[in-house]
């Protein structure tokens, strides 16, 4: 089966492409100029002022937004500075309170230590007195025991008991050496 494709409109004029048709070329140029002038006037009087207004409005809005952002940035910087100052003040107060507490507790512990030390010194002095008294009593007993022992030794050695005064004198003389 054979097919034929035609680009011509049935019953239409045959000839050149209409824009290239020399007979209609001058009228086409006139209409081109009229259309160009009309479109130019419409663009310059209607479309371009609207586009310019839109561009100006956007530029103004961007400038306003930048000004607002700068204002907010300054406010946030001020708030940050105030926060840092408050934080520094709080730290200083905390250190002052800690120092006062430490000093107070040190003074209290020093006073308690002093009281305990005084109590212990008093008890130590009392104990030393007791020890001295016990030592003196022991020494007295030792002297008595030494005198009795000396008398017993002399009695056993020579068979006669010495007098108490002689035994005491001999023990005292021996203790002095």
Neighbours of 151 (CB within 10 A): 19
Token pair listed for 129: 């007195």
In the chain, where are the structural domains located? 24-176
Mean per-residue pLDDT of the chain: 86
> Contact, 162 vs 151, CB < 8 A?
yes
- Compute the chain's Rg from CA coordinates: 65
Task: Convert the pLDDT of each residue in 57-77 to its tens digit.
Answer: 999 999 999 999 999 999 999
Rounded to the nearest angstrom, the gap between the alpha carbon of residue 120 and the centroid of all alpha carbons in its chain is: 45
**Backbone φ and ψ of 163, nearest 5°:** -75, 160
98-151 confidence digits (pLDDT tens): 999 999 999 999 999 999 999 999 999 999 999 988 888 877 777 788 888 888
* Termini Cα distance of the chain: 163
**What single DSSP character describes residue 23?**
G
């Amino acid at each position: 089966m054979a097919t034929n494709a035609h680009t011509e409109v049935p019953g239409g004029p045959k000839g050149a492409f209409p824009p290239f048709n020399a007979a209609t070329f001058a009228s086409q140029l006139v209409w081109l100029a009229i259309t160009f002038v009309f479109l130019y006037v419409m663009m310059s009087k209607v479309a371009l002022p609207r586009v310019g207004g839109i561009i100006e409005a956007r530029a103004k809005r961007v400038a306003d937004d930048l000004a607002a952002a700068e204002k907010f940035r300054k406010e946030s910087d001020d708030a940050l500075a105030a926060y840092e100052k408050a934080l520094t003040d709080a730290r200083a107060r905390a250190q002052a309170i800690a120092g006062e507490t430490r000093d107070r507790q040190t003074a209290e512990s020093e006073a308690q230590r002093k009281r305990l030390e005084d109590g212990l010194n008093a008890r130590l002095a009392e104990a030393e007195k007791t020890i001295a008294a016990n030592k003196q009593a022991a020494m007295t007993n030792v002297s008595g025991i030494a005198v009795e022992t000396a008398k017993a030794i002399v009695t056993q050695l020579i068979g006669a008991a010495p007098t108490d005064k002689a035994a005491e004198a001999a023990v005292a003389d021996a203790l002095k050496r």
